Structure 1
């Protein structure tokens, strides 16, 4: 798919950044915010959720569609799970630490804080919250960030509770874990000021940098998510959920623009053909003797084959709108929302065991001619009926153009249908949590990560690449603390950003190394109790045996320090063995002998000390 003229297409995009805060407790209870493994769960309970009306008596369309799929939601509870998380007790007062961090983020985004934070309920019936809604509060408005393509406005900043973690699909519905539910989360929404895929990525990178500059946000996979809103002039606003990595944003915007361009072209062609969607009907009789495993399996289990004629759609259902995704894929996504495994359509048939004769019989059964297409679903009667109706509805919108909807990002950078766009009817006031007065005057602004990079280069003489790695890395606070304790900055940065990476590539389980492990090892080197050359081996030992102290790991690795006399003795022996080379080459033999000396000492002595002694010993013989 080629690059587009985004200005001519009228591309408009905005971002919603969701970032977990690294606070001691959750937003509306005193439970810890540490993540747990599902196998640590001590008990489970289940719920069925249904949409409720807003205070104006309205039902949200997205919630209604979600509730059409009857599912049981199972929740994994832990020894730290409380009644608030189970929705068996009202929420407590909003967490002060989370409010302080949210105000700091608002200040970094040049936003105006609201006078009072009022908690609202946002209806969510996909099972991700035990209560059927998510609590959220507006904290700041009207901010701005700078990008190389111009400023991007920041419309609002919300402080809300994180949803439960999705564990897996079950036969009855979905299983969630409650360890994540209630972790404080900020949602940052930009204005629709973004006009290119590159600017979308740059804006997200800038906001991410500001968030990490606070030192109070969680790091790692799943702790930050980006939603992207994209539209073009003749298209429609589409919200793309669940973009995990910054690297994906640019490609996702580009491919969504391409999808909307293709859908608009398909709509123009459908209107030229005077296309329409016919009535759905049961066509099971066509496939009584089919060799298709999918269809035969459904029929033998008492299911039906339902069909919808798509008049004027021939060749367009199979047209690609994103890499490996077609208009037929869009229709299939809607069918899957109602439990079907997918659809077949005549642009791809005969195939999958369906014969040419069956395709002809299918066309006759629904009155479809050569310019028409037919889509079918084979499943249990109820699922087949609901799914084919969903396909018909999606085909109707294909004639109109691009539908407004919420879509889910895929690992390939494409998107799939998720649900309709939510409306205002999903929000109503939370009556169990009182408003909170906000005071932004006491907010202290942190040093930005970009400023840290410059400081590390100036104060510690780190090169630009290493300075950026350290400043943006997860071990940045540890780096600053050990440097303050006297550890050489270049050495500390090299260990934290270089040695650990090399060990990870060698399959050493470095994730077991704590900050305390690393601090102890670095201080042993600073105090002269461990040679720099032994650090890698000691860290490997600690990673395999994390219960050891750094001193014990040194002993375990056989790297207890040697005295200067022992160093001199080992070096002298090496020089003596290579006396002829020393006499003929002088200091030219240094490099070769240095390696032999370090091997003899097996990392027990600092390289600088060995180097000085070796030069001295060579000097005596020349």
Structure 2
């Protein structure tokens, strides 16, 4: 197994940032972009690939159509209308989205076109009810600087966001329409060569530039990073979609570079063998042959009336398990392809016997298919209507790796920082003109007006926050980069709460609760504001805030008042508090006698257990010290 070094591969990276815009309506209708899990409308579609105006099929669309999925859509009239259902033509382009896109282009010094032509981009995975996404090229060129590195801009587009996937059930895929049509900008950078640990900083800097407009949405899902990765020897660019977290970027780029180089090494191995595939003799239905196989996977497939097929690969023994780098194998590439068709997996010769497939099963298989020790084979279980399509795609993929090296895919980032097969790379036939929307004219006066509205830079914005709210640089960066910046300014302006304390709660307390597995989406802005209002009025202590937020984020309460009731947080009057503290001091006489004033530590812990969230820790501390000193005088 080779030692991997990204520096030796000549890795180039290009970013595609997709950022939702903070507008009051969707791009081509008047619906508000409200996230909702309540649906009162349901309908289904069956999408298929069609030829472009040039008479060609897009390869990605054709490949997707082999899944034969039925698409089920769920909608709420508050967040979608007949436009999203493709039952009504699109309305005029949202003017706010147009202005924001032009401002972003101007910030990045990109050349804005005087005429903008809406286009249709073929999408048939079901995420668009129309079978296409509306997009328009706003500008080309431009740059931004990250330290001493200049990052070029290829293009900036304004387009519709896709529907939200709700899940798959067999041959049915489900989508919610609340996100469909939300305006977003897509910014593609030129390819660049930097150390892998610099990629996150480059993406973060671009995200910060967008946030200076104060016109973009915040939070998980509102910004997505796609990344294009190529290596010098490979000669192809692989697009990796769906990098949700910036921390994933470095891992994704390193993994994809390693995968590409690994595939080139696998290709060399394949070419060393004399392999040719015979469509007639190298595949066989072994459903009956494996009817007594003890593998639970095989038996489950047979019970579901699926077919079990074996495919033999002459002179390729060891090829599926060959691993030039850790985690990079031809067997893994084939398994990813098979899962694309909704099939659980595939067994290959280098991992058997295993999974309940025994030596006796393998012996029967080899005898019937005349498989020798020098050969490799796959065992595949799939519905009869899919089995030959899947086998053909497996063969085509292995042949492509043998002859060309790296398949030109679109891939998906995983949580672990790896990439997996999503679909083939789309071709030129994917794009064609939108016939329902006229060209958009950008006037000289409009551009002059846009120049007057260019926001302050990120550095200037941070300094302004520091000065205005008297917070330290680190906290200013945290609150500006978070989704709570507008909420922070709202709370500080409406209440007399300390800005540093408010920012710490929004950036640290809520984040820590999220890390413990709680859902911050359940904590609405109105409830956060209400909690700080109660603090200002002296009706709760500072320590109550975390308890309230924890209760709401765990789903136990919906409102601040409900959380107060459910957690038994209630104000303790001065007389009752003094009595509680006196009792604690009295009960812990021995600790005070032995530790004297140092006994404040253990006694504070006891007091906070009883009074957490009801009284400020500072007040408890002062009262304990006072009573401890009094007790020490009497000893």
Taking structure 2 as the reference length, the TM-score comes to 0.83
**Equivalent residues of 2:578, 2:623 under 8 A apart:** no
Aligned to 2:276: 276
Matched, 1:354 2:357: yes
The residue correspondences of 1:26-45 to structure 2 (distance < 5 A) are 26-37=26-37, 40-45=38-43
Deviation of the 1:526 alpha carbon: 5.1
Residues 322 and 420 (structure 1 numbering): CA distance in 2 closer, same or farther, change over 3 Å? farther
Aligned with 1:468 (options 472, 477, 481): 477
Whole-angstrom CA distance in 1 between matches of 2:372 and 2:248: 42
Whole-angstrom CA distance in 2 between matches of 1:593 and 1:289: 69
Aligned with 1:73 (options 53, 64, 71): 71
The residue correspondences of 1:172-571 to structure 2 (distance < 5 A) are 172-235=171-234, 236-279=236-279, 281=281, 282-284=283-285, 287=289, 290-293=292-295, 294-296=297-299, 298=301, 303-320=306-323, 323-324=326-327, 326-363=329-366, 365-366=368-369, 368-400=371-403, 401-438=405-442, 439-443=446-450, 444-458=453-467, 460-485=469-494, 486-500=496-510, 512-522=522-532, 532=542, 547=559, 557-559=569-571
Deviation of the 1:164 alpha carbon: 1.1
Residues 166 and 311 (structure 1 numbering): CA distance in 2 closer, same or farther, change over 3 Å? same
Which digits, 9 at most, give the CA deviation of each residue in 1:295-346, with x for residues without a partner? 4554566554433332332112112366545211211222333443322222
Whole-angstrom CA distance in 2 between matches of 1:509 and 1:296: 40
Whole-angstrom CA distance in 2 between matches of 1:295 and 1:556: 55
Deviation of the 1:462 alpha carbon: 2.9
Residues 353 and 572 (structure 1 numbering): CA distance in 2 closer, same or farther, change over 3 Å? closer
**Equivalent residues of 1:166, 1:176 under 8 A apart:** yes
**Equivalent residues of 1:336, 1:387 under 8 A apart:** no
Which digits, 9 at most, give the CA deviation of each residue in 1:483-512, with x for residues without a partner? 345543223323333454566678988755
Which digits, 9 at most, give the CA deviation of each residue in 1:459-486, with x for residues without a partner? 5443343232222222222322343455
Which digits, 9 at most, give the CA deviation of each residue in 1:8-56, with x for residues without a partner? 422112111112222211111111101111xx21131111111222222
Whole-angstrom CA distance in 2 between matches of 1:502 and 1:258: 34
Residues 607 and 419 (structure 1 numbering): CA distance in 2 closer, same or farther, change over 3 Å? closer
Whole-angstrom CA distance in 1 between matches of 2:497 and 2:70: 56
Whole-angstrom CA distance in 1 between matches of 2:171 and 2:362: 35
Whole-angstrom CA distance in 1 between matches of 2:614 and 2:302: 72
Residues 298 and 492 (structure 1 numbering): CA distance in 2 closer, same or farther, change over 3 Å? closer
SS of structure 2 residue aligned to 1:453: helix
**Equivalent residues of 2:600, 2:625 under 8 A apart:** no
Which digits, 9 at most, give the CA deviation of each residue in 1:360-404, with x for residues without a partner? 554455454433212232334332222111111111122121111
Which digits, 9 at most, give the CA deviation of each residue in 1:177-220, with x for residues without a partner? 11111111211111112444323322211122222332222233
Residue range with higher mean Cα deviation, 589-598 or 63-72: 589-598
Deviation of the 1:267 alpha carbon: 1.3
The residue correspondences of 1:536-615 to structure 2 (distance < 5 A) are 547=559, 557-559=569-571, 607=618
Deviation of the 1:515 alpha carbon: 3.5
Whole-angstrom CA distance in 2 between matches of 1:497 and 1:310: 56
Deviation of the 1:238 alpha carbon: 1.2
Whole-angstrom CA distance in 2 between matches of 1:296 and 1:542: 46
SS of structure 2 residue aligned to 1:18: strand
* Unaligned runs of at least 5 residues, structure 1: none
Whole-angstrom CA distance in 1 between matches of 2:431 and 2:535: 57
Whole-angstrom CA distance in 2 between matches of 1:406 and 1:164: 19
Whole-angstrom CA distance in 2 between matches of 1:344 and 1:36: 41
Aligned to 1:63: 61
Deviation of the 1:589 alpha carbon: 9.7
Deviation of the 1:87 alpha carbon: 0.5
Residues 257 and 458 (structure 1 numbering): CA distance in 2 closer, same or farther, change over 3 Å? same
Residue range with higher mean Cα deviation, 527-536 or 592-601: 592-601
Whole-angstrom CA distance in 2 between matches of 1:196 and 1:137: 33
**Equivalent residues of 1:290, 1:354 under 8 A apart:** no
Whole-angstrom CA distance in 2 between matches of 1:215 and 1:70: 42
Whole-angstrom CA distance in 2 between matches of 1:83 and 1:601: 52
Aligned to 2:111: 112
Residues 529 and 246 (structure 1 numbering): CA distance in 2 closer, same or farther, change over 3 Å? same
Whole-angstrom CA distance in 2 between matches of 1:166 and 1:57: 31
SS of structure 1 residue aligned to 2:232: coil
Taking structure 1 as the reference length, the TM-score comes to 0.85
Aligned to 2:89: 90
Whole-angstrom CA distance in 2 between matches of 1:52 and 1:95: 29
Whole-angstrom CA distance in 2 between matches of 1:373 and 1:382: 25
Whole-angstrom CA distance in 2 between matches of 1:332 and 1:541: 43
Whole-angstrom CA distance in 1 between matches of 2:172 and 2:551: 45
The alignment covers a number of residue pairs equal to: 612
* Unaligned runs of at least 5 residues, structure 2: none
Deviation of the 1:413 alpha carbon: 1.7
